[in-house]
Amino acid sequence: MRGAVIHAPGDVRFESLDDPKILKPTDAVIRTAVTCVCGSDLWPWRGLDETTDPHPMGHEYVGFVEEVGSEVAGLRPGQFVVGSFATSDNTCANCRNGFQSNCLHREFMGTCQAEYIRIPNAQGTLVALDETPDEALWPSLLALSDVMGTGWWAADAAEVRPGSTAVVVGDGAVGLSGVIAAKEMGAERIIAMSRHESRQKLALAFGATDIVTERGEEGVARIKEMTGGIGADSVLECVGTSQAMSQALYSARPGGNVGFVGVPHDVAVDGEELFYSHVGLRGGPAPVRRYLPDLIDRVLTGRIDPGKVFDLTLPLAQVAEGYEAMDERRAIKALLKP
């Protein structure tokens, strides 16, 4: 089969690779329906995460079951499946507590920009649909495997409640998905912090009620001004930089909550500042598996359409162009078709 391999910053190649095989009896192999490029894939592309040896890329996927290991129950070849970027047995103590992305047997996916994919912990990770969905829904179902699941987690961790005010820091695909989540959870006011016109439009289409273009201290001042001087009930931090984290913490009201889902790069939170802010802070890799049944239902019934974050569709063979377009912010998110 063929798939994407990163060799160095800016150097992702579409190459021949060994076909994935069942390595453990708990594995499955799926044929990729669609996959995509994630904002976090840009860290090694930009050289901000080191690439020591060439390795496959990609952790988002929907596909068709091709083969299952001897210990995988409830899945059979031909089924259309959605899974998380973090695999889980869905039975351990952390999974039972709803934190499947901290499963004691967790393996992070990393080979999904390819024609076939091996899925560890298949039974606990994959959710099979009753029938193959219309191809028009594949992008939205694909979004659930990471960005929409992560946006949902950001809103959940930030404790968005009906009638509340939510601020979304970051206008990437996760931030935009966070707008959808805040809307679904009943936020009355959703303030998207964005200075890119196409992303502002999508944020408004997804349910944002206000756009704030200022950043840093000016952005915080604007949020305070809009929230009676005290700040927002919930802030979704969807970037992962130190500046974004500060912006998020200072935008939340005393007793408010920040859900942080951007993988932190050189972020340190000052204990005394957090103390006097009274802000609650929770983040981490999204427990996508917890949300999947509900989110699949919302997609299939047409309540949400997170697939709109894909504003570029490419053949899988042109995966490198997907990285480039996202790096140069010509695209929000690139969908890849095998």
Residue 263 contacts by C-beta under 8 Å, 6 or more apart in sequence?
A: 40, 43, 240
CA distance 126 to 188: 34
Distance in Å, CB of 255 to a second copy, minimum: 4
CB of 335 to a second copy, least distance (A): 27
Whose Cβ is closer to a second copy: residue 72's or residue 281's? 281
Q: Cβ closer to a second copy: 16 or 275?
A: 275
Q: Which is nearer to a second copy, 228 or 302 (CB)?
A: 228
Which residues contact a second copy by CB under 8 A? Answer: 93-94, 97-99, 101-102, 104, 157, 228-230, 242, 245, 253-255, 260, 263-272, 274-285
Q: Least distance (Å) from a second copy to the CB of residue 29? A: 28
Least distance from a second copy to the Cβ atom of residue 153, Å: 10
Q: Specify the residue, 94 or 209, whose C-beta has the smaller distance to a second copy.
A: 94
Structure tokens belonging to residue 218? 């000016």
Amino acid identity, position 161: R
CA dihedral 97, 286, 92, 184 (to 10 degrees): 50
Buried b vs exposed e over 140-167: b needs ≥16 C-beta within 10 Å?
bbbbbbbbbbbbbbbbbbbbbeeebbbb
Alpha-helix residue ranges (DSSP H) falling in 52-211: 93-96, 122-125, 138-144, 147-157, 173-184, 197-206
Least distance CB 297 / a second copy (angstroms): 23
d(CA 256, CA 274): 12
> What are the strands, taking DSSP E only, across 53-146?
55-56, 61-68, 80-82, 116-119, 127-128
* Strand 61-68 to 80-82 pairing: antiparallel
Residue 186 or 255: the one with the smaller Cβ distance to a second copy is 255
CB atoms within 10 A of CB 138: 22
> Minimum Å distance from CB 224 to a second copy?
12
Nearer to a second copy, 167 or 335 (CB): 167
In angstroms, give the least distance from the CB of 94 to a second copy: 5
User: Which of residues 75 and 155 has its CB atom nearest to a second copy in the complex?
Assistant: 155
